[in-house]
Structure formats: structure tokens, C-alpha cells
Amino acid sequence: MKIICTKSQLLSGVNTVSKAVSAKTTMDILQCILVEAQADRIKLTANDTELGIETYIEGDVVQSGQIALEAKIFSEIIKKLPDSEVIIKTEENGSTSIDCEQMHCSIMGKKGDDFTHLPEIERDNRIVLSQFDFKEIIRQTIFSISTNENNKLMTGELLQINENRLTITSLDGHRISVRNIELSDSYPACEVIIPGKTLSEISKILPGEAEDTVNLYITDKHVLFEFDQTRVVSRLLEGKFYNINQMLSTDYETKIVVNKMDMLRCLDRSTLFVRESDKKPIIMRIGQDSMDLMISSQIGSMKDTLNLKKEGKDLVIGFNPRFLVDALRVVDEEEVSIYMINSIAPCIIRDEKHSYLYLILPINVNNSGY
């Protein structure tokens, strides 16, 4: 095999597929990137058997062939090359030379025949999304997935399609994030759980242009994302997602409308007084036209006051400040509406159109002295 391409093209392709290189495996081949020279196209592929990514880059194919190169060293070499033309050539024994200007190096590769290729996915039912919208709804929900592998379903996000409405839901046992968008067309109803890792990696490599689209193809066990010159295939999580509808009540005893940035800045300041291991809540004492926010820990204490508009009862309630920060950071409106029932029931942050919803469980503050 012999190919010629620019460093920028090669590095872009390597960075894209590297997201699917296995970090922990006893199979050396899963730590490789497959480089394939096919007629006039160069394809790069990585696959950890749960997530697979392939992308095409521009370049000249002098001699067709394929080679699997250890991803870490290959990536580091490409990063450190001059910004110039790169020539990659392989020998029958797997020895691979990389030349760029005056630099020459050689690494050993593995036979491409041993590489696990991406599964073929049926393309019967295509779902078309705006790249911008899809990237946004991932950003606005991904922080609520669980990192605890003991509860596999919580490490993924529920994707639901009902006619022209797409809903993404994530939860970690302490909070729930829901995002709804309208699609340009109507599609048959479907419901799948996509691993959070897959969505996180897609959001990193998806350009996110408003005028560009991403195609989804869903089967019983896999989901395929196609955009630009890239294909991402992921296994789906098996099982039935949690029924959250009973928790998303529209009833409330207290509603406040507050400036998002003012509250976010106050919450950011409060986190200075909480270590990562602490479970100290920020106390919100809601009055008629204002709200006191207070936090106290071994580090120190803070009290701040925000103006607001309130409907209903006064209330004292406590939350993990980081959970509130995560939700407010992804809300685009200047003002946010927060709905509460009492000090032990979840609060809900949502807009009037229900395009987004964030539910956060409170922390008991009965013995906090407030």
C-alpha cells in the first residue's frame, strides 16, 4: 500500500476515528486504526466492538492495500509531523514507513484482514436530523447520564421518535434531563437506548452546521449515524428504560422566574465552598420578591440574594449546587422558570413549550438550621 495526503487531512481523520479505539482490551487489534487504500479513496476505521467509526479523507492512492496501525503511536507521529505532504508506504511484512519533508520513521503494523470491520446496517428507514439540533440536544442532556456501570441503562440516553417529534431523555438517579425537538418530516414511532459514550463522541466530531444533516438508521441491535464522510455504528443498550412520566407532574405550589445568568453566577460562587466529596446543599429561601441562597461548610459560608418573580407559597429547599449549574448552563433563555411543590419534592426547570425539562431531586434541609 502507498498513499499520499496532507498532514491536515490525515490528522483530521485520525482524530475522528480515534474516539472508537478501545482503551482497555486484551485484543491488540482493537487498539489499532485500519488504514485502507481503495481505488481513489483513503478510509480510516476504528472499532472497539461496541462503537465503530470510519471516515474517508482526501489523498492519492498510489498502491491499494490495507494496514492496521497501533492508534496511540500513529496518532502521536501524525500530530508531530510538519504541515506538509505525508507519504505512507507498507511492506508485505507489515513494516510501515511514514515520510514527511525531511522526516522518516517506520513502525510495524498488523494485517488488515484481522481487523473487526463495522457491521453492515440496513438502510431501510432513514431519519434525517439537523446537525446543529442533534449536537445541541446531546449537549443539553448528556451531563445527566450515570457513570455507574452497575446500572447500564442509566449510562445511556433514551431516544424516542413520535411522528415529527424527537425526544432525548437521560437520568442518573438524582436528576432527569429531557429535550424535545421538531423534525422536518414524520417518521414511524421508535424507541431505543443509545450509550452515552456514543453520543458524547458523536458530539465531539459532528461539525454541527445548521444547514447540514445527519442520517440515522436504527435496527434491533445497532444505530448508524452518517454525516459528511463519516459513519458511526454503535450497539444499542438492551432493556426497557425507566417510566419517568409519573415524576413529571405539572402541579406546583411555588413557581419562581429568575434571571438565568444571575442565578448561575451565584451558584458558581457557592461551589467554591464545597469539596467534590462533600454533599453540602445550597439552601434556597424563597420569599415574595427575592430569594436568599446560602451555603455553609468546613471551608466557609456564603449568602447571596437574587430578585425574582414568584407565584404561590414561600419555601425553603436545598439542592446539590452542581446539579443546578449543569442544568442552567445549557438553557438558552435569559430567564428560567422553576416549579416546586415542597422541600422534599423534585423541582422542575422547564419552558412553556416543554422543549426542555430538567428535574432535580432536593436534599433534606430540615436539620440545617435555616
**172 with 266, same domain?**
no
Q: Indicate whether 155 and 195 sit together in one domain.
A: yes
> What does pTM read for this prediction?
0.92
CA end-to-end distance (rounded Å), the chain: 72
Specify the CATH number for the domain of residue 51.
3.10.150.10
Tens of pLDDT along the chain (370 residues) come to 999 999 999 999 999 999 999 887 778 899 999 999 988 889 999 999 999 999 999 999 999 999 999 999 999 999 999 999 999 999 999 999 999 999 999 999 998 888 988 999 988 889 999 999 999 999 999 999 998 888 999 999 999 999 999 999 999 999 999 999 999 999 999 999 999 999 999 999 999 888 999 999 999 999 999 999 999 999 999 999 999 988 888 899 999 999 999 999 999 998 888 877 677 899 999 999 999 999 988 888 999 999 999 999 999 999 999 999 999 999 999 999 999 999 999 999 999 998 999 999 999 876 554 5
Q: How many independent structural domains does the chain possess?
A: 3
Residues 158, 175 within the same domain = yes
CA-nearest of 93, 200, 99, 188 to 144 is 200
* Domain span holding position 55: 2-114
Q: Does 368 fall in a domain?
A: no
Cell of 250: 405539572
Same-domain status, 9 and 102: yes
Residue 5 near residue 40, CB atoms below 8 Å: no
> CA–CA separation, 185 vs 306, rounded Å?
43
Q: Quick one: 75 and 51 in the same domain? A: yes
Q: Are residues 338 and 260 in the same domain?
A: yes
Same domain, 254 and 347: yes
Q: Is 206 exposed, middle or buried (0-12, 13-18, 19+ CB in 10 A)?
A: buried
Domain end (from 48, 81, 114): 114
* Residue of 303, 313, 304, 306 lying closest to 291 (CA atoms): 306
Contact yes or no for 62/87 (Cβ under 8 A): no
